[in-house]
Chains A and B, each alone.
Chain A
Amino acid sequence: MTILFTLTGALFTAASLLAVYRIVRGPSILDRMIASDVLLTTLILVVGAEMVLNGHTRTIPMMLVLASTAIFATVAVARYVSKQDLSTKDDR
């Protein structure tokens, strides 16, 4: 059981590190935004995994808030990117 939990933690850690790598390297801001979305999803899953590991249900509200507000950053950045792109097209 402990081995399985450790394996789960290792997989989550690897996923987070890969997402951070893409945030740092990402050629465009959209790649960074997608990667930070994955990081946030991983965070939600880790909060849930911690509840299973320690056998409590106190952080369910945190999962709820994270899941319902994850959309804002992505939508704001996506809007901004398309508008900025249109204005540079007009300048050309």
Chain B
Amino acid sequence: MTSDLLLDLAAVVSLLLGAFLSLAAGVGLVRFPDALSRLHAATKPQVLGLIFVVAAIALEARSWSTLLALTPVLLFQVLTAPISAHMVGRAGYRTGNFRKELMLVDELEDAVDRATRESERTAGDADSDSDSGR
């Protein structure tokens, strides 16, 4: 009887922690100054919050097979969250959607500059080729 109560309590506390992480993401979304730092806040509940909720469901059901059924949920989330975060971060950097003065180090700047110059040069070559062809 007491172990039952203990497991229920553990499940609810896990849920509460997951909900707290979710709220932290919401607060971060509203309070943080630019898209890249909002992205940082947004990724907190995606993995750890989901781990807490999955643990709560398995504790409540008290079965390993439920945990096994929930593993793919966690697996998909862990596999896809970095991809979407990477895409958003890349687009956010390239559209200048961040505050320069809040950055300490910008290691990507040189690489992006070089790539832009490179693409401009090849674009210019293509233009001159088509001009001479005409």
Contacts and interface: CB of A to CB of B under 8 A. Distances in A.
Nearest to B82: A71
A67 B50 contact: yes
Interface in B91-107: 91-92, 94-95, 97
Interface string A1-34: 1001101110110111111011000001011011
Contact of B92 (A11, A30, A49): A30
Contacts of B9: 1
Interface in B43-75: 45-46, 49-50, 53-54, 56-57, 60-61, 66, 69-70, 72-74
Nearest to B19: A11
Give the dominant DSSP class at A's interface: helix
Contacts of A15: 19, 22-23, 25-26, 45
Interface string B31-42: 000010011001
B28 to A, nearest CB: 9
Contacts of B29: 18-19, 21-22, 31, 34-35, 38
The 5 closest A-B pairs by CB, nearest first: A18-B26, A11-B19, A78-B87, A15-B26, A48-B53
Interface of A: 1, 4-5, 7-9, 11-12, 14-19, 21-22, 28, 30-31, 33-35, 37-38, 41-42, 44-45, 48-49, 51-52, 55, 57, 60, 63-64, 67-68, 70-71, 74-75, 78-79, 81-82, 85-86
Given A31-B97, A41-B50, A67-B77, 12 more contacts: A1-B9, A11-B20, A12-B22, A15-B26, A30-B88, A30-B92, A31-B35, A37-B46, A55-B61, A60-B66, A71-B81, A78-B88
